[in-house]
Amino acid sequence: MEVVIKIAVLASGSGTNLQALIDAPDLGAEVRLVVSDRPDAGALGRAEAAGIPSRIVPWGDFGSRTEFTTAILGEIESSGAEAVVLAGFMRVLSDDLIAAYRNRVLNIHPSLLPAFPGAHAVQHALDHGVKVTGVTVHFVDEEVDHGPIIAQRAVPVLPDDDLASLHARIQAEEHDLYPKVVGAFGRGQIHVEGRMVRWQ
């Protein structure tokens, strides 16, 4: 497989979306680095098992969001990564990251944006009684869960769904969709013009 782009993955949690990227048979990208803000993140173990370098940048070690972002940027740049993929990264980074990697920071979110932005999207979908929610992959801009949408998939909300069951079905779609989008991006098939995204 020809590697077209080198990426750094930022993850705070168990790292299931990272694992989906690692396991993709033809990702079209090379994961050069995994960065977490939490030393107990399961994503770090997944990186180690795959032989991918990892770094811990603890949020509490810094006095501001800007200082934290600067430290993360330093790790990303040192790795040689050309793009950044957020995979369950639960910190909002300062605009410095967006400026350095404009239209090269991807995120996956468990709703059909612009519906239910923020950290509790699955619970909010249940609370609002919607019949359909889903998954969104988007470019990251200066606002939270706001950047240009690259791809979306709908997930039905079943009458007996609770947080765990709905989240599990959303994650199954995430694990299928994210590697496909990252791969298409890595192969130069995704282009963004303003807020419009074009596939070729």
**Beta-bridge mates of residue 6:** 30
- The phi and psi torsions of 2 (rounded to 5 degrees) equal -80, 125
Query: How far, in Å, CA of 43 to CA of 46, rounded?
Result: 5
- Residues 6+ positions from 153 with CB-CB distance below 8 Å: 134, 135, 173, 177
78, amino acid identity: S
Comparing C-alpha atoms, which of 127, 121, 102 is closest to residue 174?
A: 121
The one catalytic residue in 109, 138, 167, 175 is 109
User: How does DSSP assign 108-161, residue by residue?
Assistant: EESS-TTSS-STTHHHHHHHHT-SEEEEEEEE--SSTT-SPEEEEEEEEPPTT-
Residue 109 is among the residues annotated as catalytic for this protein? yes
Contact 55, 33 (CB under 8 A): yes
Residue 47, number of CB atoms within 10 A of its CB: 25
Instruction: Supply 27's token pair.
Output: 């990702």
Q: Which residues are catalytic?
A: 109
